[in-house]
Structure 1
Amino acid sequence: MTLRVNDVPEANRYEARFEGESKVAGVAQYIRTAELVAFVHTEVSPEYEGKGVGAALARTALDAAREANLRVLATCPFIAGWIDRHPEYQDLVYQSRSRVSD
């Protein structure tokens, strides 16, 4: 079975489905601005765990952020952990700029 991940902007999430199935296998919810995408929640249905759904959601969402030249704020523990294990995505991570007092 082929896994497909699509952005569903009207729902503010990426959805993963296996080809030929109508059921959503997993989702990665986000909040997007002009400069930043914050990933706030990722969930994989129990029957699809261990089948690469979470990794496909993370990779697709992060590749799309890179293509759109967006920084990533990973408040979702799954996405944050995935980025930690895949250093090729570290450059996307949003770094806040602290103000230095005079």
Structure 2
Amino acid sequence: MATLVQDNAERSRFEITVDDELVGVADYRVDGDVVVLPHTEIAPRHRGEGLAAVLVAGTLDEIRRRGQTVVPACWYVAQYIDDNPEYKDLLAS
């Protein structure tokens, strides 16, 4: 199973694909160096496979790589950061 997380800047969202099938998205909007993440979604038939965590981790890793911070407006992203303290430094103040 080939899983890939990538930024679709045209649609302002990170996408996760499994074997070239789009299975989830993390919408965003950028305000300067701050990325607001208001919504994440995984296709119903792929829920429970851990793909939301893979999507959010990939999204946060890319935000870190770009030197940006994040506002986790989506409850899942906020919970993921709480559960994975290595990402707390990304929180916008």
- For normalisation by structure 1, the TM-score amounts to 0.86
Larger radius of gyration: 1
| Alignment: residue pair count | 93
Q: CA deviation at 1:20?
A: 4.1
Mapped to 1, the partners of 2:28 and 2:40 lie a distance apart of 9
**Equivalent residue for 1:28?**
26
**RMSD, aligned CA:** 1.0
Mapped to 2, the partners of 1:32 and 1:20 lie a distance apart of 27
Give identity over the alignment, percent. Answer: 35
Unaligned 5+ runs, structure 1: 96-102
Letter of the 2:2 partner, please give it. Answer: T
Change (3 A) 1:68 1:78: same
Mapped to 2, the partners of 1:13 and 1:87 lie a distance apart of 23
Q: CA deviation at 1:50?
A: 1.5
**Equivalent residue for 1:14?**
14
- For normalisation by structure 2, the TM-score amounts to 0.94
**Equivalent residue for 1:61?**
59
Structure 1 consecutive aligned stretches of length 4 or more whose deviation exceeds 3 Å: none
